Structure 1
Amino acid sequence: MKGRASGGPGCGPEVVSHEQDNQLQRHHEAKANMRDDITNGQREYVLQRSDAFHVKEICGKGRGVEAARRISRGEEIERSPCILCPMHEYEKYGRFTIFDSYFYAGRSGAQYLPLGIGCLFNHSEQPNVDFRLKENENEIRYFAARDIEAGEELCIYYGANLWFKNAEQDNVNDSGQDSQCLGEEQVDYVFPAPSLEPDDFPKPSAED
């Protein structure tokens, strides 16, 4: 197979096929908030932080994501690169680890672990954020499902089989107010860490 040789300091030449060349070219041409640069044969992800949201302490839920400004329906909120866990590795190892609560299930049977904000969206029965799993690109894209006002929590739908109590139902009193949040302040997280997230998502949201 014809190809070109590439290499970096301290390593021998590596044959790159024309198909791989085309894939790299497509990465360079992609218009996204995640840019792919090829440096010494390695892919470097440059992540762009959106001004549309910030991470907050959501009363009764823990960490969550809140709109920092008005977000229009259909606007892309975030692109999260993923760590791929092939189906055979998931069955043998992955499902027995804490990561099983973070994975997004793909149509191929593989599991995808989102990085960054993708691990922080909380659940809602009436989500205002939709997502698309792009298996061929190892990333998940999040979009506004409706117009969202500044200060609203950004939530996705985890699926029908929840493994936890739904704080959305438990924390609301008869007046419609959040009984655990009255008089409490929300505190910004400067360096947010991932929290437990879903392992069962609506299949129609996944795309090849």
Structure 2
Amino acid sequence: MQHGASCSCYYEVIETPYTKEEKARGVAARWDVCKGQLVEVAHCILIPKDQYNEHMRHTVLEHYLFRFRGEMLLCLGVGSLFNHSRTPSLDYRIDREELIIRFYAARDIRQGEELTIFYGNVWFDDTGNPGNLSSETCMHDHMDHEDKFLAALDA
């Protein structure tokens, strides 16, 4: 596979019943995927801090941003459709230089299983209920805790 090639054959976009969006979507595996397999390569748009503060944080798109070392990235393709799970099926790596996020199977995934990522503790508290969703924290922030998260996956 070429560097940066997409692996869209591994997934399909599905409707999900558990979000409040008008058209709630998620992503499911089309077939079994082995742990470590590259599932998706998503290109991103870097959102300058001043544009985020003036505009993006006041829109629904804020909920689809990834925070990486203080910067905001809008992940294109299905990268922004992966829903949250405390036991995610996907792990990911951000390549800031290429503005790409690579999503890998964090464990073996069964055909039809929803592909999920961990959004971080700002989204959900320890009981699984929505956490503090202030405008300052409404984004994927788990990259701030990447070492801890990835260590847990290797355990």
TM-score calculated relative to the size of structure 2: 0.75
> Are the counterparts in 2 of residues 70 and 148 from structure 1 also a CA contact under 8 Å?
yes
Percent identical residues: 35
Q: 1:132 to 1:101 in 2, by over 3 A?
A: same
**Unaligned segments of structure 2, at least 5 residues:** 130-137, 148-155
The match for 2:89 among 100, 118, 128 is: 128
Matched, 1:71 2:29: no
TM-score (norm 1): 0.57
Question: For residues 120 and 136 of structure 1, what CA distance do their matches in structure 2 show?
Answer: 23
- The corresponding residue for 1:185 is none
**Aligned residue runs from structure 1 range 174-193, under 5 A:** none
Distance in 1 separating the partners of 2:109 and 2:140: 25
The CA distance in 1 between the partners of 2:28 and 2:49, in whole Å, is 33
The aligned residue for residue 140 of structure 2 is 200
Letter in 2 for 1:144: A
Whole-angstrom distance in 1 between the partners of 2:61 and 2:11: 25
Taking the TM superposition and a 5 Å limit, the aligned residue runs for 1:112-151 are 112-151=73-112
Alignment check: 8 A CA contact 2:82 2:115 kept: yes
Residue 31 of structure 1 is matched in structure 2 by: 3
Once the two structures are TM-superposed, the CA of residue 57 in structure 1 deviates from its matched residue by 1.2
> Contact 2:14 / 2:26 at 8 angstroms: preserved in 1?
yes
Return the offset for 1:91. 2.2
Whole-angstrom distance in 1 between the partners of 2:61 and 2:14: 22
* 1: CA distance, partners of 2:50 / 2:68: 13
Aligned to 1:177: none
Indicate which of 53, 61, 64 corresponds to 2:11. 53
Question: For residues 55 and 14 of structure 2, what CA distance do their matches in structure 1 show?
Answer: 32
Q: Look up the SS of the partner of 1:153 in the other structure.
A: coil
Partner of 2:62 in structure 1? 100
Instruction: State the Cα distance separating 1:89 from its structure 2 match.
Output: 2.3
User: What's the RMSD between the two structures over aligned residues?
Assistant: 2.4
Distance in 1, matches of 2:62 and 2:18, equals 23
Larger radius of gyration: 1
4+ runs deviating over 3 angstroms:
none
- Counterpart CA distance in 2 for 1:200 and 1:115 is 14
Determine if contact 1:133/1:205 at 8 Å carries over to the other structure.
Answer: no
SS at 1:51 equivalent? helix
1:78 and 1:205 mapped to 2: Cα distance? Answer: 19
What whole-Å deviation, never above 9, does each CA across 1:166-186 have from its counterpart, x for those lacking one?
A: 9x77xxxxxxxxxxxxxxxxx
Is 2:43 the partner of 1:89? no
Structure 1 alignment gaps of length 5 or more: 1-29, 34-47, 170-197
CA contact (8 A) 1:90 1:110 kept: no
Displacement of 1:49: 5.2
